[in-house]
């Protein structure tokens, strides 16, 4: 497991009975987590009096109880700054376990000894984009939601990298990659965080289990002749990291050489000293 254990302003205080207790800066949040199927004692005082709690609805979805929370606030990781905001579907705009991947990608970029162009697909609020820019890469950030791309721009500005070499693209990721292939544009690294399920601009249905193989094949055509890495993130329940590694080895290693590794991502739980699993990542490197 790759554990994001270098945070100072985020802390997973405890996890019990389907929820996680988290510190985001000086704010305490309670959010549901389907991985937390254990019933351990809840001794931390934050459980009883959090600044915000996301409550599931019996009819689906849910809502925040956040009377003591500002609309948004900043959180820092190393030299990076991100805007945090409680959103629908329990999200805050940041997946803190991904810090393990930000560090790995940044190190690969800094150690490359050459200019590195990164394509960040399904790029959400741009944490990986900001980390790659800070490490010295040029980045093309692509997401279908304009609000997420705008949030990414705000994070880049907050981290003082908005003036770096970056393109902000609002588009369907598959369609964009197809056009980049036709244009002859190539990238040295790809980061992707495809959803488990989604719909395309013309109502096309995306299911990760059905579409990931073809999407990785497509993306392999936009890699440069000397690619640096490809990172594939997955939050799809039941999809083993080794499955994604098999895809990466079959497509990327077969074409370019190199090798892939895949692990669960994890966050250390302060109350127990153990780690909460939080999705999976496959890292292919040339």
Instruction: Note the pLDDT tens digit of each residue in 18-29.
Output: 999 999 999 999
User: Phi-psi category of 238—alpha, beta or left, where left has phi over 0 and alpha has psi -120 to 50?
Assistant: left
9-72: CATH number: 2.60.40.1180
Cβ neighbours of residue 14 closer than 8 Å, sequence gap 6 or more: 20, 21, 40, 42, 43, 44, 46, 47, 269, 270, 271, 272
Percentage of the chain beyond pLDDT 70 is 99
The 10 Å Cβ neighbour count of residue 102 is 23
62 or 276: which leads in pLDDT: 276
Can you give the pLDDT at residue 206? 83
Query: Whole-number mean pLDDT of the chain?
Result: 96
pLDDT (tens digit, 9 = 90+) per residue, 214-242? Answer: 999 999 999 999 999 999 999 998 899 99
Q: Which 3-state string (H, E, C) describes the chain? A: CEECCCCCCEEEEEEECCEEEEEECCEEEEEECCCCCCCCCCCCHHHCCCCEEEEECCCCCEEEECCCCCCCEEEEECCEEEEECCCHHHCCCCCHHHHHHHHHHHHHHHHCCCCCEEEEECCCCCHHHHHHHHHCCEEEEEECCHHHHHHHHHHHHHCCCCCCCEEEEECCHHHHHHHHHHHCCCECEEEECCCCEEECCCCCEEEHHHHHHHHHHHHHCCECCCCCEEEEEECCCCCCHHHHHHHHHHHHHHHHCCEEEEEEEEEEECCCCCEEEEEEEEEEEC
Alpha-carbon span 66 to 52, nearest angstrom = 4
Residue 56 C-alpha from the chain's centroid = 23
- 8 A C-beta contact, residue 15 and residue 29: no
96-285: CATH number: 3.40.50.150
In this prediction the pTM is: 0.95
Using pLDDT thresholds of 50, 70 and 90, give the confidence band for residue 264.
very high
Can you give the pLDDT at residue 82? 98
Alpha-carbon span 244 to 28, nearest angstrom = 34
pLDDT over 70 at 201, yes or no: no
Can you give the pLDDT at residue 59? 76
The ranges assigned to domains in the chain are 9-72, 96-285
């Amino acid at each position: 497991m790759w554990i994001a254990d270098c945070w100072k302003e985020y802390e997973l205080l405890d996890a019990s009975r389907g929820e996680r207790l988290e510190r985001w800066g000086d704010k305490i949040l309670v959010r549901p987590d389907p991985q937390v199927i254990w019933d351990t004692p809840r001794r931390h005082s934050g459980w009883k009096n959090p600044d915000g709690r996301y409550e599931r609805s019996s009819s689906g979805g849910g809502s925040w109880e956040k009377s003591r929370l500002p609309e948004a606030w900043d959180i820092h990781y190393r030299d990076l700054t991100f805007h945090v905001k409680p959103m629908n579907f329990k999200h805050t705009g940041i997946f803190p376990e991904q810090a393990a991947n930000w560090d790995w990608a940044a190190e690969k970029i800094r150690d490359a000894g050459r200019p590195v162009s990164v394509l960040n697909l399904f790029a959400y609020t741009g944490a990986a984009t900001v980390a790659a820019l800070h490490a010295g890469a040029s980045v093309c950030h692509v997401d279908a939601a304009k609000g997420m791309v705008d949030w990414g721009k705000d994070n880049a500005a907050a981290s003082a990298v908005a003036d770096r070499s970056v393109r902000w693209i609002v588009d369907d990721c598959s369609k964009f990659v197809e056009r980049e292939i036709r244009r002859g544009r190539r990238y040295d690294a790809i980061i992707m965080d495809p959803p488990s399920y989604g719909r395309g601009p013309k109502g096309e249905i995306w299911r990760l289990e059905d579409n990931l193989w073809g999407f990785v094949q497509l993306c392999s055509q936009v890699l440069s002749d000397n690619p640096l890495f490809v990172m594939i993130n997955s939050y799809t329940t039941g999809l083993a990291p080794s499955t994604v590694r098999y895809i990466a080895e079959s497509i990327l290693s077969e074409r370019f050489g190199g090798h892939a590794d895949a692990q669960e991502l994890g966050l250390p739980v302060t109350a127990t000293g153990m780690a909460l699993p939080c999705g999976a990542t496959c890292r292919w490197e040339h």
